[in-house]
């Protein structure tokens, strides 16, 4: 394949070891653009190989020009995603001789000191920790080596003030590293051009977009407004599938549904208010098959690896097409697999809304992301941070 031929033979060997027989559509279209050094916004359903689309050509470049510390920054919205991405990329790093590390709020002081003295070639981090790197006298010296920045789940950041912070941080990074290649990844963006401008500013960028509805099957069910009947329907659906991920819209609903299904013994609850240890235990038990179902809020919405998911239940209307696509996309998380899910409507109005959202999801009509502008509090924060970084700020009269 021509696209594979553009990559280092060592990467060819890794691809064979991973059992990849062919590239996905998104990989075939995007890898040549990254190899050419273009900034890229890549929009494709979950399970189509977006991460490899970005990382294979970046690894390729890192092999051809031996990396220094912090050659690549991989930014995600969540610490849990950072940990998951570390486990996914470490195999490639060991095979290719590329050092990979993670740095966020949970990173120990001893690991932080090691990174300052001997920085990894690829650093996985969050937007907030990227800001903190500018404050460390030793760490910020390593930022001059940055050549690639990948922003995963970019839709989660672009629409809020965290995105404003990130876009400013990327411009501050240019002062240290010069221009670097920018790659944004997402499964659900209706306006990739606007997201590209958020990521790249006035710089040129390319867009690769694969229709979100390509491998999506979504049904809508209604069994009345009785919570007991709804819980029984969920239990019956769990019995019909080897593994089921159940999304709810609130933690209260997660706990209530978990209480109703507790007697089964093979269902657990997962949300952000639970301790990290409890969440990781639930993830590992689900991945091993000890649990048949996991009840989750948005904590499982993004691409954390919890093994094969046969079916997704959305308990109540998801309110947004993008959220439904993201959640149902967790099922069938393999190349060219069909993602199957069902919305269980909880009332008549909820049923009507769910039907419309389901139809729009199947048609690929995802909402636009609206980047945040004119954030005065972010401006104040950045002015203070830059003053600390440089010791002073020159203000023109």
pLDDT above 90 for 288:
yes
Percent of the chain with pLDDT over 90: 58
Give the residue with greater pLDDT, 140 vs 395: 140
Which of these ranges, 12-21, 57-66, 141-150, 232-241, has the smallest mean pLDDT? Answer: 12-21
**3-state SS string for the chain:** CHHHHCCCHHHHHHHHHCCCCCCCHHHHHHHHHHHCCCCEEEECCCCCCHHHHHHHHHHHHHHHCCCCCCCEEEECCCHHHHHHHHHHHHHHHHHHCCCEEEECCCCCHHHHHHHHHCCCCEEEECHHHHHHHCCCCCHHHHHHHCCEEEECCHHHHHCCHHHHHHHHHHHHHHHHHCCCEEEEEECCCCCHHHHHHHHHCCCCCEEEECCCCCCEEEEEEECCCCHHHHHHHHHHHHHCCCCEEEECCCHHHHHHHHHHHHHHCCEEEECCCCCHHHHHHHHHHHHHCCCCEEEECHHHCCCCCCCCCCEEEEECCCCCHHHHHHHHCCCCCCCCCCEEEEEEECCHHHHHHHHHHHHHHHCCCCCCCCCCCCCHHHHHHHHHHHHHHHCCCCCCC
Q: What is the mean pLDDT of the chain?
A: 89
Q: Give the pair of three-digit tokens for residue 290.
A: 């000890």
pLDDT above 60 for 313:
yes
**On the CB side of 115, how many CA atoms lie within 13 Å of its CA?**
24
pLDDT band, residue 384 (cuts 50/70/90) = confident
Please give the average per-residue pLDDT across 178-207, as a whole number.
Answer: 94
Please give the average per-residue pLDDT across 240-265, as a whole number.
Answer: 95
pLDDT above 70 for 303:
no
What predicted TM-score, i.e. pTM, was given to this entire model? 0.88
Q: What is the pLDDT of residues 112-130, one digit of tens each?
A: 888 888 899 999 999 999 9
Q: What is the pLDDT of residues 343-368, one digit of tens each?
A: 999 999 999 999 999 999 998 888 98
pLDDT above 70 for 17:
yes
pLDDT band, residue 385 (cuts 50/70/90) = confident
Query: Which of 32, 57, 50 is closest to 184 using CA atoms?
Result: 50
Q: Give residues with Cβ within 8 angstroms of 162, minimum separation 6.
A: 77, 127, 128
pLDDT given for residue 272 in this prediction: 81
CA distance 162 to 152: 14
pLDDT given for residue 327 in this prediction: 92
In CATH terms, are 2-212 and 216-362 the same topology?
Answer: yes
Do the beta carbons of residue 356 and residue 326 sit within 8 Å? no
In the chain, where are the structural domains located?
2-212, 216-362
pLDDT band, residue 396 (cuts 50/70/90) = low
What is the fold, at CATH topology level, of the domain defined by 2-212?
A: Rossmann fold (3.40.50)
Tokens 């690829």: give the residue. 122
pLDDT given for residue 171 in this prediction: 94
pLDDT above 70 for 76:
yes
Please give the average per-residue pLDDT across 23-44, as a whole number.
Answer: 92
Percent of the chain with pLDDT over 70: 96
**Cα→Cα distances 258→29, 225, 241, 247, 298, Å:** 43, 18, 18, 12, 16
The superfamily (CATH) of domain 216-362 is P-loop containing nucleotide triphosphate hydrolases (3.40.50.300)
């Amino acid at each position: 394949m021509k696209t594979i031929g553009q990559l280092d033979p060592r990467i060819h060997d890794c691809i064979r070891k991973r059992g990849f027989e062919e590239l996905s559509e998104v990989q075939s279209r995007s890898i040549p653009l990254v190899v050419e050094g273009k900034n890229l916004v890549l929009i494709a359903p979950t399970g189509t190989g977006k991460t490899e689309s970005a990382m294979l050509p970046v690894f390729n470049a890192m092999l051809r020009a031996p990396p220094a510390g912090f050659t690549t920054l991989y930014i995600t919205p969540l610490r849990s995603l950072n940990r998951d991405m570390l486990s996914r990329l470490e195999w490639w790093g060991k095979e290719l001789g590329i050092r990979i590390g993670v740095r966020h709020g949970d990173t120990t002081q001893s690991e932080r000191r090691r990174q300052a003295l001997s920085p990894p070639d690829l650093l996985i981090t969050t937007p907030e920790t990227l800001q903190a790197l500018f404050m460390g006298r030793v760490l910020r010296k390593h930022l001059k080596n940055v050549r690639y920045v990948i922003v995963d789940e970019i839709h989660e950041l672009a629409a809020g003030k965290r995105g404003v912070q990130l876009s400013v941080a990327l411009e501050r990074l240019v002062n240290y590293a010069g221009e670097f290649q920018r790659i944004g990844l997402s499964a659900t963006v209706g306006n990739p051009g606007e997201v590209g401008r958020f990521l790249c500013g006035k710089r040129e960028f390319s867009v690769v977009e694969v229709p979100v509805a390509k491998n999506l099957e979504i049904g809508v069910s209604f069994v009345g407004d009785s919570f007991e009947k709804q819980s029984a329907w969920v239990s019956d659906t769990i019995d019909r599938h080897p593994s089921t991920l159940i999304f709810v819209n609130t933690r209260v609903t997660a706990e209530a549904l978990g209480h109703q299904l507790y007697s089964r013994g093979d269902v657990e609850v997962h949300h952000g208010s639970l301790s990290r240890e409890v969440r990781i235990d639930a993830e590992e038990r689900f991945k091993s098959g000890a649990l048949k179902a996991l009840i989750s809020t948005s904590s499982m919405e993004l691409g954390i690896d919890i093994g094969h998911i046969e079916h997704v239940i959305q308990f109540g209307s998801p309110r947004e097409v993008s959220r439904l696509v993201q959640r149902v996309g967790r099922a069938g998380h393999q190349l060219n697999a069909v993602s199957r899910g069902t919305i269980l409507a909880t009332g008549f109005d909820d049923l009507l809304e769910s039907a419309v959202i389901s139809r729009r999801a199947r048609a690929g009509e995802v909402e636009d992301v609206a980047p945040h502008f004119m954030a005065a509090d972010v401006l104040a924060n950045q002015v203070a941070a830059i003053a600390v970084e440089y010791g002073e700020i020159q203000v023109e009269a």
